[in-house]
Amino acid sequence: MTRVTLDFGDTMQRDAVPPVSADVIFPSSRFPNYKIGPNNQIMEVKQDSKALTMKEVVARETAHLLEQQKRLSVRDLASKFEKGLAAAAKLSDEAKMKDAASLEKHVLLKKLRDALEALRGRVAGKNKDDVEEAIAMVEALAVQLNQREGELIQEKTEVKKLATFLKQASEDAKKLVEEERAYARAEIENARAAVQRVEEALQEYEQMSGASGKQDMDELMKEVHEARRIKMLHQPSKVMDMEHELQALRVQLAEKCKYSIQLQKELARKMGEEIVSQLYELDGTEALGSFLHIQPCSLAASELSECTIQWYRLACEGGKQEPISGATKPVYAPEPFDVGRILQAEITYGGQTTSVTTAGPIDPAAGLGNYVEALVRRHDIEFNVVVVQMNGTDHTSETIHVLHIGRMRMKLCKGKSSVAKEYYSTSMQLCGVRGGGNAAAQAAFWQVKTGLSFVLAFETERERNAAIMLARRFAYDCNIMLSGPDDRAAPGS
C-alpha cells in the first residue's frame, strides 16, 4: 500500500497542475457552478432565470420595429433603423466577445484535462478513481461547451442576417428621405418661381397703369366728393323732408288757430259782450311752442307799461285761478305745465281790472311727445344752450354751453369744465321763462340750488320744451316734483 507523505502531496500539486498563463482573460470573476444531473451529466446552475437570451432580445426588437414601421414617418423610420443597426452591431460585438470567452474556456478545459491526465498516472487507489471521475466531468463539460458554441454560432448567424436586413432598410429609408427631400425642394423652387412671376407681372401692371390709374382715381374721388356735397346741400334726406313737412303743417295750424281765435273774438263782439273786455286782447297761437302777447284793441285802453299784469292758470273756464309766479309781463310763453289749461291775464290800471282769457285750453306741440319718447331711450341727453342770465344778472358772453339731462342729475358744461351740476332735489326748479320778448318761447329758468340760478336760451322752442319735459320725468322717477317757483305740480304733469 502506497504511503503518501505531506511533502509528496505538495510536490504532486505543484507538478500536476501546470501554471495558467497570465494573458488568459476570464469572462467572469468566478468559476461557473456545476452539478451532477441524471445519467452522470454535468449541468450548469443558472443564476437568473428571468434573464433573456440574445436570440430572444433580437427577436423582440425586430418585432417591435416591424410593428411601429407603419405608423412612423420616413425620417423617424430611418432613425429607428439606424438605432437598430447600432444595436445589431453591439450584439455582434458581444457575440465576438463570447467567442473569445468560449475559446478561453476550451483552452482552460484542455489544460485542466491534461493536468488531470498527468495526475492520473501518478496516483493509485481511491485518488485515481476521483481523478478519473474529474476527467469524465471535464469531458462532459467540454461536450456541453461544444453544444453551447453551436447555439452561439446559430445566434451569430441570425444576428448577422438581422444586421444585414437593418442595414439595407436603413439605406432604403435614407434613399426615401433623400427622394422626398429632393421632391419637396423641387416643389418649393417651383412655388417660389411662380410667386416671383406673379410679383413681376403685378409690378409691371402697376408700372403701366400707375400714372394713368392714379390720375383717374384722383379725379373720380373729387367728382364723388363734389357729388356728395351737392347732394347734401340740395337733396336732403327723407327725415329732413318729413321735418320740413311737419314744420309747414305747424305753421299752417298756427295760422288756422290764429284765424279761429279772431273769428271767435269777432263773434263775441257781435253778440254784445262787455265793452270793458274789449279793451285788450291776446295775440298769438294758443299752443305750446308759441307765445301770447297782450295788445290793446281800443282807444280807451291804457298803455301796458302803466298797468299791472298778472297771469293765471285755470283748470277750466270759470275755475279757480292759480297765479303764475313771476309772470307779470305783457308776453308769456306757455310751457309744458300749461298744456290742457286755460290761461288768463289780469290788467289793472287806476283801480280798474280787466282780464283777457284764451279761447280754450293750451294745445300740445305737434310731434313733441314722440320726440321726447325717443330721447328717453338714451342714457344721457345733451342740448346746446346759451347762458342769458346768472343769478338774475345778465350774462354778456354768448359762448355755447352744453346742458346734460340725466336720469339722476342735471349738469351744465362749458367745454370740458363743469359750470354747475346737481342731483334732482326739492330745492331745484325748472320752468319756462315767465316774461321777456319774442324769444321767451326758447328760454328756460333753472334754479340749480338755493342761491344759484340760470336763464338758458335753447336753439328751438321744441328743444326747450323737450328739455323741461325730460327733466321733470326723470325727477319724478326720483320722487321729486320738478316745477317752477310757487307752482303746484299736478300728478302726471
Residues ≥6 apart with Cβ < 8 Å to 52 = 60
Burial of 14 (0-12, 13-18, 19+ CB in 10 A): exposed
DSSP 411-435: EEEETTEEEEEEE--TT-EEEE-SS
Q: What is the pLDDT of residue 12?
A: 42
Run of H or E residues at 483: none
Q: What is the pLDDT of residue 410?
A: 94
Judging by DSSP bridges, how do beta strands 443-449 and 452-458 pair with one another? Answer: antiparallel
Alpha carbons 386 and 414: distance in angstroms, whole number: 10
Alpha carbons 114 and 107: distance in angstroms, whole number: 11
Q: What is the pLDDT of residue 455?
A: 92
Burial of 173 (0-12, 13-18, 19+ CB in 10 A): buried
Alpha carbons 1 and 18: distance in angstroms, whole number: 28
Cβ neighbour number for residue 45 with a 10 Å cutoff: 8
Cell digits of residue 121: 498516472
Cβ neighbour number for residue 293 with a 10 Å cutoff: 18
Judging by DSSP bridges, how do beta strands 342-349 and 308-314 pair with one another? Answer: antiparallel
**Residue given cell 346768472 in the structure block:** 390
Q: What is the pLDDT of residue 15?
A: 45
Cell digits of residue 444: 328756460
Chain-centre distance for alpha carbon 12: 99
CA distances in angstroms from 39 to 93, 128, 132, 134, listed in the order given: 37, 21, 16, 15
Alpha carbons 493 and 472: distance in angstroms, whole number: 8
Ramachandran angles phi, psi of 273, nearest 5°: -70, 165
**Which residue from 279, 333, 273, 275 is spatially nearest to 304, judged by alpha carbons?**
279
Q: pLDDT tens, position by position, for the chain (493 residues)?
A: 344 444 434 444 444 444 444 444 444 444 455 555 666 565 655 555 455 666 676 677 677 666 665 555 556 656 666 676 677 667 667 766 766 666 666 677 777 777 777 777 777 677 777 777 777 887 788 788 788 778 878 877 887 887 788 778 778 878 888 888 888 888 888 888 888 888 888 888 778 776 676 777 778 888 887 777 676 655 545 566 677 677 778 777 777 777 777 777 677 666 655 444 468 888 888 888 888 988 888 777 788 888 888 999 988 777 788 898 888 888 999 999 899 899 999 988 888 888 888 888 888 888 888 889 989 988 778 999 999 999 988 888 788 999 999 999 999 999 889 999 999 999 999 999 987 777 788 999 999 999 999 999 999 999 999 999 999 999 999 999 998 887 765 444 4
Q: What share of the chain is helix, strand, coil (3-state, %, to 5)?
A: 50, 20, 30
Q: What is the pLDDT of residue 6?
A: 42
Residues ≥6 apart with Cβ < 8 Å to 392 = 453
Alpha carbons 322 and 160: distance in angstroms, whole number: 123
Alpha carbons 390 and 361: distance in angstroms, whole number: 33
Cell digits of residue 158: 441570425
Cβ neighbour number for residue 321 with a 10 Å cutoff: 15
Run of H or E residues at 439: none
Direct distance between the N- and C-terminal alpha carbons of the chain, in angstroms, rounded to an integer: 153
- pTM, entire model: 0.47
Q: What is the pLDDT of residue 196?
A: 84
What is the DSSP-derived secondary structure letter of residue 401?
Answer: E
